C-alpha cells in the first residue's frame, strides 16, 4: 500500500508515551496502526447506525421504556469494566 508523508500535531504527553512504548520501532507504524483501528471502529459504528435506521424504518421507533432499560444495562456494565487504559497493549 502506498505511503504518504504528513505533518501531524499531537499531544506531547501522548507522543512521548508512544515513543517510550514503541522504543526503537517506528512511531509512524504505531500511528498508522492506531489510525487503522480507529477507522475500523468508525466503519462498525456506521454499520450499526445503518442497521438501527433500518430497524426503525421496519418496526418504528424504539419505545422509551426500552431505551431506558438499555441505558441502565450500559451503566451497570460500565461500572464493572476495567478502565480504558488497562485494556491497551503494553
Would you list the domain boundaries of the chain?
26-81
Please tell me the predicted confidence (pLDDT) of residue 6: 94
Predicted pLDDT of residue 20: 95
Helix 12-22 × helix 27-59 angle, to 10°: 110
Half-sphere exposure at residue 23, Cβ-oriented, CA atoms within 13 angstroms: 2
pTM: 0.65
pLDDT of residue 81: 85
Query: What's the pLDDT score for residue 85?
Result: 57
Q: Give me the residues of the chain with pLDDT under 50, please.
A: 90
* pLDDT confidence of residue 90: 44
Q: What is the pLDDT of residue 22?
A: 93
- Supply the pLDDT for residue 89: 52
Amino acid at each position: 500500500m502506498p505511503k504518504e508523508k504528513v505533518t501531524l500535531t499531537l499531544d506531547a504527553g501522548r507522543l512521548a508515551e508512544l515513543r517510550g512504548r514503541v522504543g526503537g520501532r517506528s512511531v509512524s507504524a504505531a500511528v498508522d496502526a492506531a489510525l487503522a483501528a480507529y477507522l475500523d471502529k468508525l466503519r462498525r459504528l456506521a454499520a450499526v447506525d445503518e442497521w438501527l435506521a433500518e430497524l426503525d424504518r421496519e418496526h418504528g421507533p424504539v419505545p422509551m421504556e426500552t431505551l431506558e432499560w438499555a441505558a441502565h444495562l450500559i451503566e451497570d456494565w460500565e461500572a464493572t469494566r476495567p478502565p480504558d487504559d488497562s485494556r491497551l497493549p503494553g
